[in-house]
Amino acid sequence: MSRTDPTDLLAVAARWADPTGWPVPLCFDRDQRWYARLATDDTHEVWALSWLPGQGTDLHDHGGSAGAFLVVAGTLTEETVSGGRLRPHRLALGAGRRFGPRHVHVVTNRDRLPAVSVHVYRPALRRMTRYHLVAGRLRVAEVAKAGVAW
């Protein structure tokens, strides 16, 4: 898909890369990772996330939604499961990642500076499953539901 294709979720994320155009102000929270939904329609939803150094997610999927995310400030590390272990991939400013509906990952700010990212999901997130990696296998830890957990 090209970056101008309206169905390309990474291209959608790129259209939301400038926080000055967001309907909510960008925030950083020392106690927890900040996030806000920026937009939603019949085909997808767009979220902004801020990450102070050391903040990150648990190992999780997106409940059957495909997606993409784009780093719009700072650097993030995405870890995916390969060969029974987590493999890190560093994503600097401007780097992005598309993923399918069965993608499982951890995203963390391992840098010394704050980071900001834009995430797009199709369809909108309704649930997310959190996992533990035990002896090289994914084990369900929790299923979180929209409207309850976030």
Domains and CATH numbers, the chain: 9-56+67-125 (2.60.120.10)
Q: What is the tens place of the pLDDT at every residue in 88-119? A: 999 999 999 999 999 999 999 999 999 999 99
Q: For 33-60, what is the mean pLDDT?
A: 96
Q: What distance lies between CA 119 and its chain's CA centroid?
A: 5
Report percent pLDDT > 90 for the chain: 91
Give pTM, 2 decimals. Answer: 0.93
At residue 9, the 3 state secondary structure works out as helix
Select from 112, 121, 129 the least CA-distant residue to 47.
121
Q: How many residues does the chain have?
A: 150
